[in-house]
Protein backbone atom coordinates (compact mmCIF):
# COMPACT_ATOMS: atom_id res chain seq x y z
CA UNK A 1 0.00 0.00 0.00
CA UNK A 2 1.53 3.34 -1.03
CA UNK A 3 2.00 6.08 1.50
CA UNK A 4 0.04 8.56 -0.61
CA UNK A 5 -3.16 7.38 -2.27
CA UNK A 6 -3.19 10.08 -4.90
CA UNK A 7 -0.99 12.85 -6.21
CA UNK A 8 -3.52 15.28 -4.78
CA UNK A 9 -2.64 14.16 -1.26
CA UNK A 10 1.02 14.99 -1.83
CA UNK A 11 0.10 18.49 -3.02
CA UNK A 12 -2.29 18.91 -0.10
CA UNK A 13 0.43 17.91 2.39
CA UNK A 14 2.84 20.34 0.74
CA UNK A 15 0.31 23.19 1.01
CA UNK A 16 -0.38 22.37 4.67
CA UNK A 17 3.34 22.25 5.44
CA UNK A 18 3.90 25.57 3.65
CA UNK A 19 1.06 27.20 5.56
CA UNK A 20 2.32 25.93 8.93
CA UNK A 21 5.92 26.93 8.13
CA UNK A 22 4.87 30.43 7.07
CA UNK A 23 2.84 30.92 10.25
CA UNK A 24 5.85 29.80 12.31
CA UNK A 25 8.16 32.15 10.43
CA UNK A 26 5.86 35.04 11.34
CA UNK A 27 5.43 34.01 14.97
CA UNK A 28 9.07 33.31 15.88
CA UNK A 29 10.29 36.92 15.40
CA UNK A 30 7.27 38.19 17.32
CA UNK A 31 8.08 35.89 20.24
CA UNK A 32 11.82 36.64 20.36
CA UNK A 33 11.84 40.33 19.39
CA UNK A 34 12.80 42.90 22.06
CA UNK A 35 9.75 44.00 24.00
CA UNK A 36 11.20 46.99 25.88
CA UNK A 37 13.03 49.23 23.42
CA UNK A 38 15.87 51.43 24.65
CA UNK A 39 18.49 53.56 22.84
CA UNK A 40 21.03 50.71 22.66
CA UNK A 41 18.53 48.25 21.16
CA UNK A 42 17.30 50.86 18.65
CA UNK A 43 20.77 51.94 17.51
CA UNK A 44 22.14 50.98 14.09
CA UNK A 45 25.05 48.54 13.80
CA UNK A 46 27.31 47.58 10.92
CA UNK A 47 28.73 44.10 11.47
CA UNK A 48 28.43 44.53 15.23
CA UNK A 49 30.11 47.96 15.25
CA UNK A 50 28.70 51.47 15.36
CA UNK A 51 28.48 52.90 11.84
CA UNK A 52 31.14 55.32 10.69
CA UNK A 53 31.04 57.75 7.80
CA UNK A 54 28.23 58.93 5.58
CA UNK A 55 25.28 56.55 5.34
CA UNK A 56 24.02 57.72 1.96
CA UNK A 57 26.46 56.64 -0.71
CA UNK A 58 26.04 56.17 -4.43
CA UNK A 59 25.89 52.45 -5.20
CA UNK A 60 27.92 51.48 -8.23
CA UNK A 61 26.13 49.36 -10.80
CA UNK A 62 29.32 47.83 -12.18
CA UNK A 63 28.23 44.26 -11.45
CA UNK A 64 24.76 44.54 -12.96
CA UNK A 65 25.82 42.87 -16.19
CA UNK A 66 27.35 39.94 -14.30
CA UNK A 67 24.14 39.55 -12.32
CA UNK A 68 22.21 39.51 -15.56
CA UNK A 69 24.55 36.87 -16.97
CA UNK A 70 24.12 34.72 -13.85
CA UNK A 71 20.34 34.85 -14.15
CA UNK A 72 20.54 33.97 -17.84
CA UNK A 73 22.86 31.01 -17.23
CA UNK A 74 20.71 29.87 -14.31
CA UNK A 75 17.61 29.76 -16.51
CA UNK A 76 19.51 28.09 -19.34
CA UNK A 77 20.80 25.32 -17.10
CA UNK A 78 17.41 24.74 -15.48
CA UNK A 79 15.59 24.33 -18.79
CA UNK A 80 18.40 22.40 -20.47
CA UNK A 81 18.44 19.93 -17.59
CA UNK A 82 14.67 19.43 -17.86
CA UNK A 83 14.91 19.08 -21.64
CA UNK A 84 17.86 16.69 -21.37
CA UNK A 85 16.00 14.56 -18.84
CA UNK A 86 13.02 14.23 -21.16
CA UNK A 87 14.99 14.04 -24.43
CA UNK A 88 14.64 10.28 -24.80
CA UNK A 89 10.85 10.54 -24.59
CA UNK A 90 10.64 13.70 -26.73
CA UNK A 91 13.17 12.77 -29.40
CA UNK A 92 14.50 15.04 -32.12
CA UNK A 93 11.07 16.64 -32.59
CA UNK A 94 11.84 18.87 -29.58
CA UNK A 95 15.06 20.20 -31.11
CA UNK A 96 13.52 23.22 -32.95
CA UNK A 97 11.79 24.36 -29.77
CA UNK A 98 14.94 24.22 -27.68
CA UNK A 99 16.91 26.00 -30.43
CA UNK A 100 14.39 28.87 -30.42
CA UNK A 101 14.66 29.03 -26.63
CA UNK A 102 18.46 29.06 -26.73
CA UNK A 103 18.46 31.76 -29.41
CA UNK A 104 16.32 34.06 -27.26
CA UNK A 105 18.44 33.37 -24.18
CA UNK A 106 21.74 33.91 -25.99
CA UNK A 107 20.51 37.26 -27.34
CA UNK A 108 20.00 38.31 -23.71
CA UNK A 109 23.43 36.99 -22.82
CA UNK A 110 25.02 38.92 -25.70
CA UNK A 111 23.35 42.10 -24.46
CA UNK A 112 24.75 41.49 -20.95
CA UNK A 113 28.23 40.94 -22.37
CA UNK A 114 27.85 44.16 -24.34
CA UNK A 115 26.93 46.01 -21.13
CA UNK A 116 29.90 44.46 -19.31
CA UNK A 117 32.24 46.07 -21.82
CA UNK A 118 30.75 49.57 -21.51
CA UNK A 119 32.36 50.91 -18.36
CA UNK A 120 31.18 54.49 -18.95
CA UNK A 121 27.65 53.47 -17.95
CA UNK A 122 28.78 52.62 -14.45
* CA geometry: angle 71, 87, 7, nearest 5 deg: 80
pLDDT for 48 beyond 80: no
Q: Which residue has the higher pLDDT, 97 or 111?
A: 97
Contacts of 10 (CB under 8 A, 6+ apart): 4
106-115 long-range Cβ contacts below 8 angstroms, 24+ apart = 108/68, 108/72, 109/69, 109/72, 109/73, 111/68, 112/65, 112/66, 112/68, 112/69, 112/72, 113/65, 113/69, 115/64, 115/65, 115/68
pLDDT for the residue 122: 46
* Domains of the chain, each with CATH number or no CATH: 7-121 (1.20.58)
DSSP label at residue 91: G
**pLDDT tens per residue across span 88-104:** 888 888 889 889 988 98
pLDDT tens per residue across span 8-21 = 888 899 999 999 99
Query: Would you state the pLDDT for residue 13?
Result: 92
pLDDT of amino acid 57: 63
Query: pTM for the full model?
Result: 0.43
Amino acid sequence: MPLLATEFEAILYLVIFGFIASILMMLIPFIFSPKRPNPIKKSTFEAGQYPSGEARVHLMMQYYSYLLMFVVFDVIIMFLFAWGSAFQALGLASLPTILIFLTIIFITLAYALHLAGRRELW
